[in-house]
């Protein structure tokens, strides 16, 4: 049941015009827009067909046509021309990719903000790791006689630290013993495997400073925990107010809270996308979450390295500018993958490139 070329041309014109104006399009406007040399009556006939087949909808009998989710889907799959980013745009993105302070969660957060700013839609970003994270290494640094820094590194090469202050004194040999012990007992373990028994054994071995073991290990557990339940960062939620479809305050607020409740909600949306490459587009009712049923989502995933993946996504009205958004999102995702994938540094010179 392929559509005729003419029908496609009309459908495409409807979608693209609607994306711009958010207003129903009538037969007369389409006559000009499509450049077809037929009368408006002919177009009306075609529109009637497209409506019957479910590609278009009529808000009410005497209004123009509006694309249905099915219509958007066809547009996205077949009619949409891949958007080339302008030089200005790529430059803008490249500049923004030059992030500072590249602790993993900062980069993710920043990526979300960036995407939101680039697209003028609310955006979110998260990272997911397919395996369960484990501790790769402990280091303890003595600061002064009453405090030390614990540095924990996980198998995803995420490094976290924390300063501990103690009411009792502490010596360098003591700390070295502890470090050895910690590394011997807990490296390679997942969160689950850090059992109380294991702790007890290690504490026993630590002698007088056994209390410190649990301090450092519970810090390590927090790190592992936070990596398993990777945070979702959202940005630019206020952008939804830019679009007339969210003039209805109720709708706007529902979507807003959905977006800001960084809970499992946004995760359940994005995690399935972790394994798909390239941009993925979810239109209106294709979304599982009730709150997104009349919005659309564009997702792109990127490689963080060490098997970890990240997802950036954009939420907007169903009439969102898919071509442009998908192009930008893919470009950013590619850029991020490269950023993470090419960590080699020149051994010399004040080069600025680094990575987490």
Partner DNA sequence: GCTTAGCACTCGGAGAGATTGAGTGCTAAA
Partner DNA sequence: TTTAGCACTCAATCTCTCCGAGTGCTAAGC
Considering the complex, state which of residue 40 and residue 120 has its C-beta at the smaller distance from DNA. Answer: 40
With residue 67 as reference, give the H or E element that holds it: strand 66-67
145 binds DNA (CB under 7 A): no
- Shortest Cβ distance from residue 284 to a second copy (Å)? 22
Stretch that binds a second copy, among 39-47, 207-215, 286-294, 333-341 (CB under 8 A): 207-215
Considering the complex, state which of residue 24 and residue 133 has its C-beta at the smaller distance from DNA. Answer: 24
Choosing from 10, 15, 19, 25, the residue that interacts with DNA (CB under 7 A) is 25
**226 contact partners, CB below 8 Å, separation of at least 6:** none
Choosing from 8, 33, 48, 73, the residue that interacts with DNA (CB under 7 A) is 48
39 binds DNA (CB under 7 A): yes
Helix-then-strand count for the chain, H and E: 12, 10
Choosing from 22, 41, 184, 249, the residue that interacts with a second copy (CB under 8 A) is 249
Choosing from 7, 8, 33, 51, the residue that interacts with DNA (CB under 7 A) is 51
Instruction: Assess contact for 55 and 68: CB atoms under 8 A.
Output: yes
**113 contact partners, CB below 8 Å, separation of at least 6:** 123, 233, 235, 236
100 binds, among DNA, a second copy, none (CB under 5 to 8 A by kind): a second copy
180 binds a second copy (CB under 8 A): no
Instruction: Assess contact for 170 and 145: CB atoms under 8 A.
Output: yes
Q: How many CB atoms lie within 10 A of CB 171?
A: 11
176 binds, among DNA, a second copy, none (CB under 5 to 8 A by kind): none
User: Strand, helix or coil at 55?
Assistant: coil
Choosing from 7, 8, 44, 106, the residue that interacts with DNA (CB under 7 A) is 44
- Shortest Cβ distance from residue 252 to a second copy (Å)? 7
Choosing from 20, 161, 180, 264, the residue that interacts with a second copy (CB under 8 A) is 161
Interior angle at CA 153, CA 147 and CA 158, nearest 5: 120
Q: Locate 108 and state its tokens.
A: 């993710």
86 binds, among a second copy, DNA, none (CB under 5 to 8 A by kind): none
As a whole number of angstroms, the distance between CA 155 and CA 51 comes to: 54
- The phi and psi torsions of 353 (rounded to 5 degrees) equal -75, 130
| Tokens 């970890």, residue located | 308
As a whole number of angstroms, the distance between CA 327 and CA 279 comes to: 8
86 binds DNA (CB under 7 A): no
25 binds, among DNA, a second copy, none (CB under 5 to 8 A by kind): DNA
CA torsion 330→334→339→344, rounded to 10°?
180
Measured N-to-C along each axis, helices 196-206 and 210-228 cross at an angle, to the nearest 10 degrees, of 150
Stretch that binds DNA, among 54-62, 108-116, 138-146, 229-237 (CB under 7 A): 54-62
190 binds a second copy (CB under 8 A): no
Please give the sequence-ordered ranges of beta strands (E in DSSP) within 83-197, or none if there are none. 123-128, 135-144, 147-154, 159-165
62 binds, among a second copy, DNA, none (CB under 5 to 8 A by kind): DNA
Point out which residues bind DNA (CB under 7 A): 24-29, 37-42, 44-45, 47-48, 51, 58-65
Point out which residues bind a second copy (CB under 8 A): 100-103, 137, 139, 141, 143, 149, 151, 153, 157, 159-168, 199, 209-212, 214-215, 218-219, 222-223, 225-226, 235-238, 241-242, 247, 249, 252-253, 256-257, 259-260, 343-352, 354-356
């Amino acid at each position: 049941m392929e559509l005729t070329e003419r029908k496609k041309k009309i459908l495409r014109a409807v979608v693209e015009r609607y994306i711009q104006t958010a207003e129903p399009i009538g037969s007369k406007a389409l006559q000009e827009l499509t450049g077809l040399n037929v009368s408006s009556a002919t177009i009306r006939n075609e529109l009637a067909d497209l409506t019957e087949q479910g590609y278009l909808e009529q808000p009410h009998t005497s209004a123009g046509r509006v694309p249905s989710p099915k219509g958007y889907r066809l547009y996205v799959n077949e009619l949409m021309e891949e958007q080339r980013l302008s030089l200005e745009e790529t430059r803008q993105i490249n500049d923004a990719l030059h992030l500072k302070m590249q602790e993993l969660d900062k980069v993710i957060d920043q990526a979300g903000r960036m995407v939101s700013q680039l697209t003028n839609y609310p955006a979110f970003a998260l990272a997911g790791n397919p395996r369960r994270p484990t501790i790769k290494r402990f280091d303890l640094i003595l600061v002064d006689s009453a405090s030390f820094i614990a540095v924990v590194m996980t198998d995803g090469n995420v490094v976290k630290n924390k300063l501990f202050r103690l009411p009792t004194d502490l010596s360098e040999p003591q700390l070295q013993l502890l470090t050895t012990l910690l590394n011997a007992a807990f490296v390679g373990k997942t969160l689950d495997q850090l059992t109380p028994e294991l702790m007890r054994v290690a504490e026993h071995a630590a002698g007088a400073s056994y209390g410190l073991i649990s301090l450092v290990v519970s810090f390590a557990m927090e790190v592992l925990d936070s990596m398993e339940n990777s945070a979702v960062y959202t940005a630019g939620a206020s952008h939804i107010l830019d679009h007339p479809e969210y003039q209805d305050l109720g709708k706007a607020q529902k979507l807003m809270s959905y977006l800001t409740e960084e809970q499992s909600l946004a995760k359940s949306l994005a995690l399935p996308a972790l394994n798909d490459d390239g941009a993925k587009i979810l239109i209106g009712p294709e979304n599982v979450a009730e709150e997104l049923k009349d919005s659309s989502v564009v997702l792109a995933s990127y490689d963080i390295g060490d098997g970890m993946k990240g997802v950036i996504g954009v939420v907007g009205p169903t009439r969102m500018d898919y071509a442009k958004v998908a192009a930008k999102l893919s470009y950013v995702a590619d850029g991020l993958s490269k950023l993470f994938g090419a960590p080699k540094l020149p051994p010399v010179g004040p080069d600025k490139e680094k990575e987490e």
